Amino acid sequence: MNFEQVSGYKYRIPRTGKMRTDAVFYASEEILKDLAAENYASLRQICNVATLTGIVEPALTMPDIHWGYGFPIGGVAAFDPDEGGVVSPGGVGFDINCGVRLLTAPLGREDIARRSKELADALYGAVPSGVGSVRKDVRFGRKDLRQIMERGPEWLVGRGYGREEDLEYIESRGRLPDADPDHVSDRAYERGLKQLGTLGSGNHFLEVQYVDEIYDEEAAGAYGLSEGQVTVLIHTGSRGLGHQVCQEYVELFLEAAPEYGIELVDRQLAAAPIESPEGRAYLGAMSAAANFAFANRQLITHFTREAFESAGLGDGLRVLYDLAHNNAKFEEHGGRKVLVHRKGATRAFGPGNPEVPARYRSAGQPVLVPGDMGRYSFVLAGTEGSMRETFGSSAHGAGRKLSRKKAKKAAKGRNIIREMERLGILVRAASRATVDEEMSEAYKDAAGVVEATHAAGIGRKVARLRPLIVVKG
């Protein structure tokens, strides 16, 4: 793999072959070793992305880069609709708007310690998790689901599932305007009806945490964070509805691409012109699924508040921020409107940007970087550097190091739940196998990703969060 170091953590892969632009990636020495160990498979993927029509230079990956479907995880690419730019479902992913929401509580770590078991049980009972998990206590009909896909969490708040102020602290207020439920199939509707308000499986989780360290007092003050404070991090997405949307449009785009003269160096990069009927249909369905995901995290927030109250800890949880990891959005960068794909990457708008809530505008947009269940997660802030270099994007998490199969093999003969308890972390999960798959050793150290992000200037460290209670999907 031919690449050159541009600066401390920034590398460039020069345009070659069918690439239409250079590719840029951000990495530390440790991350470079990980890339070499995978034979640079994810770097080859971002080079493939650079071959797509209408791409705006450069194709990018964030420091949490690893192999994904079509685009690498951590991939960012912008396309100009006026230059024949395309939209690719592989550049968004199967879990459309998989994302995270951070809540803060007017509580300290010692308050949780007194009621940790009661709270852990209450949360596990309040938020269904695991493969195929469904809600039985809240019923929504097809007309309700249509409203949710069009309006996102705003519709839920209007029916008592949250507070008006919650909406101010959700990316795009939880509503992508191009949503069109008419382009969502009946099968996707069916899968979504019972899954609103559930975590699902895989790496999705709900964690009660506390602020372990503050790196930037000014930004932490703007965000309302203080050392020792309790937080809750919710990580989930659009569940089966989003997966169905992606699957169906990948198949449609594989048929459509040749009709538009789009050469695919990888079938997983199936694409159609943004302005084509197929492209517009996907964007309508993708936006509807994204709004569903924002609403999913909203409903989980409602039941998390109820769990805290039932455990005698009050209902004072405030939404600090909610943001997407897997989306395609129209934004203005470099004086032109482009469609930015973020796949396992997150928006990271800098100080002063009108898209950032007024309360946070001096600091920049909160960037939430979840780690693994045994170590820590981080809060960062968007920077001028991210706006200048990465289309306002940053890293989204630690990234897996071991496959689920290898993780279960490594956990054989161990009791991971007991090990977590010895670290002061209570775990609730659908099965022991789930916990084994999600053991800390299965993930890269999020601190390494965050250090590279901070040093590269595409995100600024604000605070570190340590887990106390983990509910795993």
Pairing status of strand 393-395 against strand 345-347: antiparallel
CATH number for the domain spanning 268: value is 3.90.1860.10
pLDDT recorded at residue 131: 73
The tens digit of pLDDT for each residue in 432-447 reads: 888 999 999 888 899 9
Q: Is the pLDDT of residue 136 over 90?
A: no
The pLDDT of residue 185: 98
pLDDT of residue 310: 97
pLDDT at residue 129 in the model:
82
Does residue 391 contact residue 410 with C-beta atoms inside 8 Å? no
| Pairing relationship of beta strands 366-369 and 377-381 according to DSSP bridges | antiparallel
Q: Is the pLDDT of residue 473 over 80?
A: no
- Whose CA is closest to 98, among 230, 203, 215? 203
Averaged pLDDT, 402-424:
91
Q: How many CB atoms lie within 10 A of CB 224?
A: 13
397 annotated among ligand-binding-site residues:
yes
**Closest Cα to residue 420, out of 446, 443, 405, 440?**
440
pLDDT band at 217 (very low <50, low <70, confident <90, very high): very high
Q: Say what the pLDDT of residue 284 is.
A: 98
pLDDT, tens digit, 9 for 90 and up, residues 243-277: 999 999 999 999 999 999 999 999 999 999 999 99
In the set 183, 302, 341, 396, the catalytic residue is 396
85 is in an annotated binding site: no
Q: In the annotation, is 396 catalytic?
A: yes
Q: Is the peptide bond before 106 cis (omega within 30 degrees of 0)?
A: no
Q: State the pLDDT at residue 144.
A: 97
* Arithmetic mean of pLDDT over the chain: 95
pLDDT of residue 285: 98
Question: What's residue 397's pLDDT?
Answer: 93
Reply yes or no on whether the pLDDT at 81 is more than 80. Answer: yes
203 pLDDT above the threshold of 90 = no
Is 162 annotated in a binding site? The answer is no
Domain region containing 161: 4-472
Span 384-412, mean pLDDT? Answer: 92
pLDDT band per the 50, 70, 90 thresholds, residue 399: confident
Check whether 399 is labelled as a binding-site residue: yes
Please enumerate in sequence order all residues whose Cβ is within 8 A of that of 258, keeping only pairs 6 or more positions apart, or say none.
none
Number of neighbouring beta carbons within 10 Å of residue 254? 16
| Count of domains observed in the chain | 1
203 is in an annotated binding site: yes
Please name which of 80, 157, 66 lies closest in space to residue 345, comparing C-alpha atoms: 66
pLDDT tens sequence across 345-372: 999 999 999 999 999 999 999 999 999 9
Average pLDDT over residues 380-385: 98
Q: What is the pLDDT of residues 176-187, one digit of tens each?
A: 999 999 999 999
pLDDT band, residue 135 (cuts 50/70/90): confident
Q: What are 284-301's pLDDT values in tens digits?
A: 999 999 999 999 999 999
